[in-house]
Amino acid sequence: MHRFANPARFQRMSRVLLPITAGLAVWLIAYGLHLVFFVAPDDYQQGVAVRIMYIHVPAAWMCTMIYAMMALLSATYLVWKHTLADIIAREIAAIGVVFTLITLATGMLWGKPMWGAYWVWDARLTSVLVLLFLYAGYLAVANAGAGSEKGRIAAAWLCIVGAINLPIIKFSVEWWNTLHQPASIIRLSGPAIDKSMLAPLLIMLAGAFCLMLTLLLLRVGAALNEQKIRRLQISKISHKSAA
């Protein structure tokens, strides 16, 4: 972990990984969408509306996975003071916001034909909405005071404390009466989804993951370049002042 905390080493690794993750993201999502619209069958109860699942479920998995990654990166930053961990956490948070918005939007579109309403104060819907607020709060605190160290430390602690919402999202369908169905993929007895639907769903999930990695590498690379430019500008100003 300490080896990859070096920004220069990270950028070298990023230049190798970026074309791979970008290519995989395009191929997986394109192939997954082909399966979703031309191969996967309609659901016997939900009909064509079930196709929203192939966007909604990967987005939901990604928004919770990203927040878990942020919490781990925040802990790394607090313990070892790795600046790169803080940068990655801040850059991936913006991606998490987008996936969370997609999750909520597709969930509302899916809920209308299934539940008769775009929004209900369902335990899972509410906890995902709280997750969106946590993302927004983290970004606001992290960027407060032009990204001061105090702001970054406060944001890291907020992220770690907010991680308590993740098990609530996961187990809300089991702890409370909810309109959401229980887990149908990760189960001890095996997936409850037919293979004709499971395969496109897993491909879309892999595509979403590769897309997230691609966007993260681009954003972190841009942030590190901005940091370099800022240091050069400060150094130039200092030399002029000394002269």
Average pLDDT over residues 40-67: 92
If pLDDT is split at 50, 70 and 90, which confidence band does 195 have? confident
Question: Which of helix, strand or coil describes residue 142?
Answer: helix
Residue 184 lies in a domain: no
* 91-117 pLDDT, tens digit each: 999 999 999 999 999 999 988 888 888
Q: Residue 4 has what pLDDT?
A: 60
User: Does residue 7 fall inside a structural domain?
Assistant: no
In a domain, 185, yes or no: no
Is 188 contained in some domain?
A: no
Give residue 176's pLDDT.
74
Report yes or no on 6 lying in a domain. no
DSSP state of 121: -
Mean pLDDT of 187-206: 81
- Nearest partner of 143 among 135, 133, 125, judged by Cα: 135
47 found inside a domain: yes
Q: How many CB atoms lie within 10 A of CB 179?
A: 14
Does the pLDDT value for residue 26 go beyond 60?
yes
Calpha distance 201→203 (Å, rounded): 5
Q: What is the pLDDT of residue 242?
A: 65
Number of separate domains in the chain:
1
Task: Give the residue, 44 or 171, on which the prediction is more confident.
Answer: 171
For range 225-229, the mean pLDDT: 88
Residue 208: what pLDDT?
Answer: 98
Q: What is the pLDDT of residues 117-167, one digit of tens each?
A: 888 888 889 999 999 999 999 999 998 866 688 999 999 999 999 999 999
Contact residues for 104 (Cβ-Cβ < 8 A; gap 6+)? 125, 128, 129, 132
- The pLDDT value recorded for residue 62 is 97
pLDDT at 5 over 80: no
226: burial class by Cβ within 10 Å (0-12, 13-18, 19+)? Answer: exposed
Q: What is the Cα–Cα distance from 1 to 115, expressed in whole angstroms?
A: 46
Q: For residues 82 and 98, which has the higher predicted lDDT (pLDDT)?
A: 98
Mean pLDDT score, 169-173: 87
Confidence of residue 21 (pLDDT cuts 50, 70, 90): very high
- Which is more confidently placed, 242 or 62? 62
Judged against a pLDDT cut of 80, whether residue 37 lies above it is answered with yes
Q: How many CB atoms lie within 10 A of CB 32?
A: 24
Query: What does the alpha-carbon distance between residue 140 and residue 151 come to, in Å, rounded to a whole number?
Result: 9
Give me the pLDDT at residue 139, please: 96
Assign 193 a pLDDT band (cuts: 50, 70, 90): confident
Residue 100 lies in a domain: yes
Show the tokens assigned to 105: 């939007």
pLDDT given at position 146: 63
State the residue range of the domain holding 109: 21-178+196-242
Q: Does 160 fall in a domain?
A: yes
